Amino acid sequence: MLHLTEQQIRNLIGPDEAFRAVREAFAALARNEVHQPPPIGLDLTDRRGEVHLKGAYVEGNPHFAFKVATGFYNNPEKGLPTGSGLVMVFDAWTGIPAAILQDNGYLTEIRTGAAGALSCDLLARKDAAVLGLVGAGSQARYQFRALTRIRSIERVHIWSPVEDEIPRFIEEMSAGSREMVPEFVPAGTPDEAVSRADIAITVTPSRTPLVSADALHTGLHITCVGSDQPGKQELDHTAFRRIDRIFADHIDQAANQGELQHAIAAGLLERSDVTGTLGQVAVALKEGRTSEEEITFCDLTGVGVQDSAIASLTVELAVEQGVGNRLEA
């Protein structure tokens, strides 16, 4: 069995590899080529912790995989990262364990960033150049890096529930070798960040709505990433009265644990009101944005096929490049 460390995985999988794997995963999902159980979630409320177990098999793939990802929100006070986890990869012909990917949550972070970038690329206006970020933590960094690889962003309005995260985010995201570093503008409220943006991304673990319906405006695309468990909510559910086209990574999952859950519970939406999935847009089974004036929305809850696809790619690249250690049974 192959064992890969986080650093080895980081050397193998970057934003470009993640974007390719995620796009292919959503395409396979849209073509009904994926066998995927419902996710398992575990809340450790007394520890401010949450656990996610997700996995899938894509027909024809040499592997299937399951990942365990954790988020413990008191960890920064202890000098530890918020997210961690690992991925278990199995041979799809025999069911024998093929690899343990000790990624410490890296693959979850980068595949989520790739999904956010894909949603914005498929659904935002082609001339969109102003980003509104609600959240400035670790996943916000992955969202920003992934998006700026495929879209030219000139300005970023950013708000965070933890105010001192904003200067750290700006300092880190201003560094590097990108040809163009956008202007960063701290926002006083989530609504301010969204109302001034062409593309908005919300990426917090909030359980109370942060963005109001009033912040949505003509031509906006908004992707919500943070709601991935029952009870989480970043967007006020009344905003769905103003949204023209609604998409999700997985409609049933979003209806149960994404932003859609609140609008459905309030009677503002039915599942049939959802325009389609991100994968259906990617393979042209559904049309994305149809005009420059529409408000489009994508609900990203994180699906197991993303984890399986990126894990399988990691193992394939590791074998090709002779990376990793072999563990004896």
Estimate to the nearest angstrom the gap between the alpha carbon of 124 and the chain centroid: 16
Active site residues: 67
What tokens does 169 get? 């985010």
Answer yes or no: are the C-beta atoms of 299 and 252 closer than 8 Å.
no
Please state whether beta strands 63-72 and 130-134 pair in parallel, antiparallel, or not at all (unpaired): unpaired
Q: Which residues contact 95 (CB under 8 A, 6 or more apart)?
A: none
Beta bridge partners of 146: none
CA distance 244 to 262: 17
CA distance 307 to 298: 19
Q: Cβ atoms within 10 A of the Cβ of 92, count?
A: 18
Cα–Cα distance list, 11 to 108, 110, 175, 233, 264 (Å): 15, 13, 20, 34, 42
CA distance 73 to 302: 19
Answer yes or no: are the C-beta atoms of 219 and 293 closer than 8 Å.
yes
3-state secondary structure 186-251: ECCCHHHHHHCCCEEEECCCCCCCCECHHHCCCCCEEEECCCCCCCCCCECHHHHHCCCEEEECCH
Q: Which residues contact 106 (CB under 8 A, 6 or more apart)?
A: 6, 9, 10, 13
CA distance 105 to 31: 28
